[in-house]
Amino acid sequence: MFCIFWTAAPQMVSASVGTISFPVPQFSAADTNLYQYLPFPMGASVGIGRMKNNAKYSEVVSKEFNSITAENVMKFRALHPAENTFNWADADYLVDFAQKNGKRLHGHTLNWYQYLPAWVTNFSGDSIAWENMLKTHIQTVVAHFKGKVTSWDVVNEYFNDDGTIRPSVWVKNLGPDYIARCFQYAHEADPDAILFYNDYGHEYSSAKRTAIANLVNSFKTRGVPIHGVGMQFHMTHTQSDANINAAMAFAAGTGLKVHISELDVRVNVNKVKHLIFTDAMALQQADRFRFVVKAYNTAIPKAQQFGITTWNVGDADSWVPSWQGAPDYPLPFDANYLRKPAYKAIIEGGK
């Protein structure tokens, strides 16, 4: 079947980003999808504006992936903009899309130090009021999506890169162990939901890996319901094999489900203002995508493979350029949703 896929006389299109000049196989709508070539779920995070208004985007999402994550619309500020107001419309749109198209929906994120509405950052209650606010948010959200959202990033980015606990309004007002209660509250609201701790930097920070491993062990000892670790993998195209392998070994060692939850591979490490995406960059990037997928598939035991999710779909959709203040091309599809060498590399990595 694999051979048929690659020999079915695809339309050869020179990828349109920068100066890539070698042909990348393109396929018609009738062709097979990315996820069908991978032995675990393959997802993308999605932006609500493009899902609603860009038919090409939603078609690619529906065709290529079998898991989706809300890039922003399930975050605190989006769902709960005022103390007594929940705004479900955008997230429910994704629920509807997922159900109609048979996609797994991963929830992101119940608790984070960012993307908070002003009413939370300015909240002046005592610790009981803070606890009630935390619990109400988590349980209202999880209950709303019960049976529709398979899994949640319960807490996102609790640690600094050096393994210390990141200062946040949550830690400040509730103490560091509030994180355990987030998992308990989520579990109470939906005992079937798969609950993740999500963070970045596993591929470069052994201190953060150790901190997360200690957290997981302490949760297991105390019976706190945690089922998975999300490793974001916002990577550079120069990241080493050894570092990627170290992250996979750590994740396998937790014994929990492992989600590569926000994969992208940026190439503009020097933040060049008008960077041209060269053939060499495309190939180096593809090589890193291939290596990550292969390392995941090899090092993570089958039962722990929750899947891999890229952080959005095409290069023009990525958060990276605005974050780094310079252009970049971090995803497997170009700005026109043509498949880049990274796309083929992902399939090769999963073999």
Give 236-298 as a DSSP string.
ETT--HHHHHHHHHHHHHH-SEEEEEEEEEE--TT--TT----HHHHHHHHHHHHHHHHHHHH
Element (H, E) at 152: strand 151-156
Catalytic residues: 157, 262
Cβ nearer to ligand 9MR, comparing 262 with 328? 262
- For CA atoms 281, 283, 289, 294, the dihedral sign is negative
Site residues (CB under 6 A) for ligand 9MR, limited to 132-171: 156
The answer to whether the CB of 166 falls within 8 A of the CB of 199 is: no
* CA separation for the pair 14, 40 (Å, rounded): 29
Give the number of other Cβ atoms within 10 Å of residue 197's Cβ: 25
Cβ nearer to ligand 9MR, comparing 305 with 318? 318
Cβ nearer to ligand 9MR, comparing 266 with 294? 266
Site residues (CB under 6 A) for ligand 9MR, limited to 99-118: 114-115
Site residues (CB under 6 A) for ligand 9MR, limited to 304-323: 319
Measured CA distances, 231 to 95, 203, 251, 292 (Å): 24, 9, 8, 12
* Residue 141 Cβ vs ligand 9MR, minimum distance, rounded to whole Å: 15
* CA separation for the pair 83, 205 (Å, rounded): 37
* Residue 72 Cβ vs ligand 9MR, minimum distance, rounded to whole Å: 5
Written as one letter, the residue type at 60 is V
* Residue 45 Cβ vs ligand 9MR, minimum distance, rounded to whole Å: 7
When binding is defined by CB under 6 A, the residue of 64, 262, 328, 334 that contacts ligand 9MR is 262
Interface mask (CB under 6 A) for ligand 9MR, residues 220-239, using x and -? ------------x-------
The answer to whether the CB of 31 falls within 8 A of the CB of 9 is: no
* Residue 115 Cβ vs ligand 9MR, minimum distance, rounded to whole Å: 4
When binding is defined by CB under 6 A, the residue of 72, 150, 168, 304 that contacts ligand 9MR is 72
When binding is defined by CB under 6 A, the residue of 60, 66, 70, 71 that contacts ligand 9MR is 71
Total chain residues near ligand 9MR (CB under 6 A): 8
Does residue 203 touch ligand 9MR according to CB under 6 A? no
* Residue 202 Cβ vs ligand 9MR, minimum distance, rounded to whole Å: 13
Give the number of other Cβ atoms within 10 Å of residue 246's Cβ: 18
- DSSP-assigned letter for residue 205: -
Q: Scanning the structure block, which residue is given the tokens 């180096």?
A: 284
Cβ nearer to ligand 9MR, comparing 156 with 309? 156
- DSSP-assigned letter for residue 88: -
* Residue 87 Cβ vs ligand 9MR, minimum distance, rounded to whole Å: 16
List interacting residues with ligand 9MR (CB under 6 A): 71-72, 114-115, 156, 232, 262, 319
